[in-house]
Amino acid sequence: QVQLVESGGGLVQAGGSLRLSCAASGRTFSTYAMGWFRQAPGKEREFVAVLSGSGGFTYYADSVKGRFTISRDNAKNTVYLQMNSLKPEDTAVYSCVAARFYNTIVVRGGDYWGQGTQVTVSS
């Protein structure tokens, strides 16, 4: 079992930045691929980014490519999402996910999900 707890959401003006964190339980964190999804009100859940266990592979949704960066610190059991040049359309609940394989996350999401953290970008 992996438990995930997100933090770092909030209200920011367009063009601003936020860094989300996701703390994971367990001693096998480095064996899991980690990712982020988001869901805006009235919209379907959307893949944002994924990172392999070693950190050597990353993949981003086109909508965030060049603005968001996913990273991890395996010593701290934490994955991050640095979000720059934020836009109002980035407003959503952002959830951290974990899975054994990164393609699992890209295709269907994670085996484990956090509760999510709200990000609101004002225009």
3-class SS letters over 26-94: CCCHHHCEEEEEEECCCCCCEEEEEECCCCCCEEECCCCCCCEEEEEECCCCEEEEEECCCCHHHCEEE
26 falls in which pLDDT band (50, 70, 90)?
confident
**pLDDT tens column, 46-68:** 999 999 998 899 999 999 999 99
CB 10 within 8 A of CB 120: yes
Report pLDDT for 46: 96
